[in-house]
């Protein structure tokens, strides 16, 4: 009667991670994605990288993805957070996270990894090959509506076909059509900012340094990639960002040089440039009748701290665990009490990180001299207190709170 236990709408990085977690543990999963086959694997699809915390890499290892991804992953050894002005360089008061400060099981471990999204997508698709019997992926499958009933849920595609499962998971991104169709309201606002993303080549090695540099226009993140390359996430007010990405190469590079400083040597940037409008969304409910939201469909945050995907992966691990536990007990995996366990588990982590990233952006995108002085002093102060720094490092790695089994290195 059911095409699969779980009908998963959205084969992005969160959707595929959840499909692997649930499929490995014995649930059948049908992934429906609107994009054309292989579209998300092309180089032109997504120029972004993702900063993955330790806990996210642990999940990917448990899913058989990390072994395919690791050769292309750049370890992060240092994170420098500083404020500054154009051409005058960073202020001396900064916050420095150093992997050498790790204690216990994190001793000697990098603070995280930078992976190119295209490599992560390819590794997720590669890992699916080991689960062909349990997980199927259908491309060109635009879902238009979902109809729950007492036993299951019917998912309708734009070309008229229907697929039936016990539960539907919406991992269909920030504009989630399923969230809207279910009438789930969001707290949402537009930041009026865009993130410019591009890859920069430099003549000096980066040594695994990620630099979050807060400039008057907005955060300017330099993220180390494999080789002598770094990825840029450059936040500016929307109008200025649109003007910047249209600049001729020499002019664009001179804008970059004014912000980079000499540490990376000479820089060049002749590849494509991407632009992402930035907004905040947080769903008031993560669940509805036989429906659960995961990843950006439930919450979209500012990329200032590189945490959006990390949160989505934690959703995937928690939802898989809740569904698999219910399945093993012979319970209905789409029942309201099963889904509310997922919502209760994920709410605090998601809300707190969403609020923190929002406040950070408001604080660091504010040009007032008073605010600027206060944040410089705040950074200097936080940098000087070892235990506070180490606590922040644990939270950034995702290693706090009650972790799903897959995130603690245990099997599902
Ligand atoms: C500039 C920038 C930098 C970032 N950097 C980081 C970082 O360093 N670290 C980090 O953790 N996060 C980062 N993020 C956030 C991260 O990219 C997102 O949180 C993540 O991509 C969300 O993944 P997702 O799978 O939930 O959604 P998406 O990637 O949006 O995937 C949604 C999928 O659903 C499919 N779909 C949509 N509608 C339908 C439909 N109706 N029917 C069927 N399929 C549908 C789409 O085709 C797509 O494949 C960054 C974000 C930005 C903008």
- Does residue 139 belong to any structural domain of this protein? yes
- Does residue 266 belong to any structural domain of this protein? no
- Does residue 333 belong to any structural domain of this protein? yes
Ligand 1 pocket check for 152: Cβ under 6 Å = no
User: Probe ligand 1: pick from 10, 198, 305, max atoms within 8 Å of CB?
Assistant: 10
Ligand 1 pocket check for 12: Cβ under 6 Å = yes
| Pair 329, 337: CB distance under 8 Å | no
Å from CA of 100 to ligand 1 middle: 32
pLDDT value at 50 more than 80: yes
Provide the pLDDT for residue 7: 98
- Does residue 83 belong to any structural domain of this protein? no
Number of structural domains the chain divides into:
1
Ligand 1 pocket check for 223: Cβ under 6 Å = no
Ligand 1 pocket check for 296: Cβ under 6 Å = yes
- Does residue 409 belong to any structural domain of this protein? no
Here the CATH number for the domain that contains residue 330 is: 3.50.50.60
Q: Mean pLDDT over residues 31-51, rounded?
A: 93
- In the structure, what pLDDT confidence band is assigned to residue 366 with cuts at 50, 70 and 90? confident
Taking the C-alpha atoms of residue 159 and residue 122, their distance in angstroms, rounded to an integer, is: 27
* 313 vs 409, more confident: 313
Backbone angles phi, psi at 299, to 5 degrees: -160, 130
Å from CA of 12 to ligand 1 middle: 6
Ligand 1 pocket check for 9: Cβ under 6 Å = yes
- In the structure, what pLDDT confidence band is assigned to residue 383 with cuts at 50, 70 and 90? low
**How would you class 154 by CB atoms within 10 Å of its CB: exposed for 0-12, middle for 13-18, buried for 19 or more?**
middle
Mean residue pLDDT of the chain comes to 93
Of the chain, the percentage scoring pLDDT greater than 70 comes to 98
Cα–Cα–Cα angle for 383, 389, 392, rounded to 5 degrees = 130
Provide the pLDDT for residue 162: 97
Ligand 1 pocket check for 10: Cβ under 6 Å = yes
* 337 vs 90, more confident: 337
Atom nearest to 141 CA in ligand 1 = 43
| Pair 127, 68: CB distance under 8 Å | yes
Closest C-alpha to ligand 1, atom 38: 172
Pairing of strands 229-237, 299-300: unpaired
**How would you class 304 by CB atoms within 10 Å of its CB: exposed for 0-12, middle for 13-18, buried for 19 or more?**
buried
Provide the pLDDT for residue 330: 97
Helix (H) or strand (E) holding 37: none
- In the structure, what pLDDT confidence band is assigned to residue 364 with cuts at 50, 70 and 90? confident
Closest C-alpha to ligand 1, atom 21: 309
Taking the C-alpha atoms of residue 239 and residue 192, their distance in angstroms, rounded to an integer, is: 9
Atom nearest to 56 CA in ligand 1 = 11
**Location of structure tokens 């804008």:** 255
**Location of structure tokens 């972004």:** 48
Of the chain, the percentage scoring pLDDT greater than 90 comes to 76
Q: Mean pLDDT over residues 348-371, rounded?
A: 86
Provide the pLDDT for residue 371: 76
Which among 318, 245, 314, 306 is positioned nearest to 275, based on CA atoms? 245
Please state the separation of Cα 9 from the chain's center in Å: 18
Provide the pLDDT for residue 128: 96
pLDDT value at 363 more than 90: no
Say which range, 83-87, 357-361, 383-387, has the weakest mean pLDDT.
Answer: 383-387
Provide the pLDDT for residue 304: 92
Ligand 1 pocket check for 309: Cβ under 6 Å = yes
12: containing domain: 4-74+115-189+279-364
Å from CA of 173 to ligand 1 middle: 5
- Does residue 30 belong to any structural domain of this protein? yes
Which one of 90-94, 106-110, 322-326 scores highest in mean pLDDT?
322-326
Neighbours of 91 (CB within 10 A): 16
| Pair 10, 33: CB distance under 8 Å | yes
pLDDT (tens digit, 9 = 90+) per residue, 140-193?
999 999 999 999 999 999 999 999 999 999 999 999 999 999 999 999 999 999
- Does residue 346 belong to any structural domain of this protein? yes
Pairing of strands 287-288, 291-293: antiparallel
User: Tokens for 66?
Assistant: 């990390």
Q: Mean pLDDT over residues 38-61, rounded?
A: 93
Taking the C-alpha atoms of residue 35 and residue 182, their distance in angstroms, rounded to an integer, is: 22
Taking the C-alpha atoms of residue 412 and residue 327, their distance in angstroms, rounded to an integer, is: 12
Taking the C-alpha atoms of residue 348 and residue 356, their distance in angstroms, rounded to an integer, is: 12
**How would you class 263 by CB atoms within 10 Å of its CB: exposed for 0-12, middle for 13-18, buried for 19 or more?**
middle
Å from CA of 148 to ligand 1 middle: 25
| Pair 321, 405: CB distance under 8 Å | yes
Q: Mean pLDDT over residues 75-87, rounded?
A: 88
Å from CA of 40 to ligand 1 middle: 11
- Does residue 251 belong to any structural domain of this protein? no
pLDDT (tens digit, 9 = 90+) per residue, 299-317?
999 999 999 999 999 999 9
* Sign of the dihedral defined by the CA atoms of residues 325, 162, 19, 297, in that order: negative
Taking the C-alpha atoms of residue 253 and residue 169, their distance in angstroms, rounded to an integer, is: 43
Q: Mean pLDDT over residues 129-150, rounded?
A: 96
Provide the pLDDT for residue 243: 97
* 250 vs 380, more confident: 250
User: Probe ligand 1: pick from 7, 32, 34, 198, max atoms within 8 Å of CB?
Assistant: 34
Taking the C-alpha atoms of residue 156 and residue 272, their distance in angstroms, rounded to an integer, is: 37
Instruction: Give the contacts of 217 (CB within 8 A, at least 6 positions apart).
Output: 235, 236, 237, 240, 365
Q: Mean pLDDT over residues 4-24, rounded?
A: 98
- In the structure, what pLDDT confidence band is assigned to residue 372 with cuts at 50, 70 and 90? confident
Helix (H, G, I), strand (E, B) or coil at 301: coil
Distances (CA, A) of 131 to 315, 323, 403, 410: 21, 18, 25, 19
Ligand 1 pocket check for 279: Cβ under 6 Å = no
């Amino acid at each position: 009667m059911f095409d699969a236990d779980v009908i998963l709408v959205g084969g992005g990085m969160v959707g595929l991670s959840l499909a692997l977690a649930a499929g490995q543990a014995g649930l059948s999963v049908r992934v429906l994605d609107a994009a054309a086959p292989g579209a998300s694997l092309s180089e032109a699809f997504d120029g972004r990288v993702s900063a993955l915390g330790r806990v996210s890499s642990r999940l990917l290892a448990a899913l058989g993805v990390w072994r395919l991804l690791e050769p292309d992953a750049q370890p992060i050894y240092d994170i420098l957070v500083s404020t500054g002005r154009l051409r005058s360089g960073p202020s001396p008061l900064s916050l420095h996270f150093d992997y050498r400060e790790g204690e216990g099981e994190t001793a000697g471990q990098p603070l995280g990894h930078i992976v190119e999204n295209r490599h992560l997508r390819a590794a997720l698709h590669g890992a699916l090959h080991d689960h062909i019997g349990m997980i199927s992926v259908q491309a060109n499958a635009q879902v238009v509506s979902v109809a729950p009933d007492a036993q299951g849920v019917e998912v309708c595609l734009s070309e008229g076909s229907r697929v039936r499962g016990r539960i539907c998971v919406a991992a269909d991104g920030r504009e989630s059509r399923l969230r809207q169709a279910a009438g789930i309201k969001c707290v949402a606002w537009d930041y009026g900012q865009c993130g410019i993303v591009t890859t920069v080549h430099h003549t000096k090695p980066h040594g695994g340094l990620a630099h979050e540099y807060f400039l008057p226009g907005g955060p300017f993140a330099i993220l180390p990639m494999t080789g002598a390359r770094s990825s840029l996430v450059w936040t500016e007010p929307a109008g200025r960002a649109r003007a910047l990405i249209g600049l001729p190469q020499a002019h664009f590079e001179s804008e970059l040089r004014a912000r980079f400083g000499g540490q990376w040597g000479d820089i060049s940037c002749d590849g494509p440039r991407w632009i992402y409008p930035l907004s905040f969304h947080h769903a008031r409910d993560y669940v509805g009748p036989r429906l659960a939201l995961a990843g950006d469909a439930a919450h979209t945050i500012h990329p200032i701290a590189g945490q959006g995907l990390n949160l989505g992966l934690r959703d995937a691990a928690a939802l898989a665990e809740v569904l698999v536990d219910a399945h093993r007990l012979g319970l209905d995996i789409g029942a309201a009490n099963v889904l509310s366990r997922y919502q209760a588990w994920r709410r605090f982590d998601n809300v707190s990180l969403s609020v923190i990233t929002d406040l950070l952006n408001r604080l660091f995108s504010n040009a007032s001299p008073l605010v600027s002085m206060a944040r410089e002093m705040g950074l200097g102060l936080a940098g000087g207190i070892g235990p506070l720094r180490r606590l922040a490092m644990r939270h950034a790695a995702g290693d706090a709170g009650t972790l799903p089994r897959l995130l603690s290195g245990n099997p599902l």
